[in-house]
């Protein structure tokens, strides 16, 4: 990928930030722009739900026929740990 293409993708993604006051909608829009601009055929982004201790789809993009193939990260990984970051209050997926 050429530097110009990388800069264009960066610009498009930065422009997607701030399109909504609703944080979840803004993140979804950003991820869809990122997927589209990087040429993804299909993509899915997961959000870890601490109440259910599972991953839920946050944002889907692309061909629907590919989406069933996109499984939650923990179903494909053998060596992973979910770490709770006290400072940010978020859970991080650490892959070994």
The pTM assigned to this predicted structure is 0.54
Look at residue 49 and tell me whether its pLDDT is greater than 50.
yes
CA atoms within 13 A on the CB side of 2: 3
More reliable by pLDDT, 14 or 69: 14
Query: Cα–Cα distance between 32 and 50 in angstroms, integer?
Result: 24
Q: Which regions of the chain does DSSP assign to beta strands (E)? A: 42-49, 54-62, 80-85, 90-95
């Amino acid at each position: 990928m050429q530097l110009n293409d990388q800069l264009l993708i960066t610009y498009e993604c930065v422009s997607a930030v701030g399109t909504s006051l609703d944080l979840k909608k803004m993140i979804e829009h950003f991820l869809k722009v990122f997927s589209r601009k990087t040429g993804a055929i299909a993509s899915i982004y997961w959000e870890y739900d601490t109440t259910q201790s599972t991953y839920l789809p946050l944002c889907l993009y692309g061909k629907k026929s590919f989406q069933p193939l996109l499984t939650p990260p923990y179903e494909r990984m053998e060596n992973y740990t979910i770490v709770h970051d006290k400072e940010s209050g978020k859970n991080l997926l650490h892959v070994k």
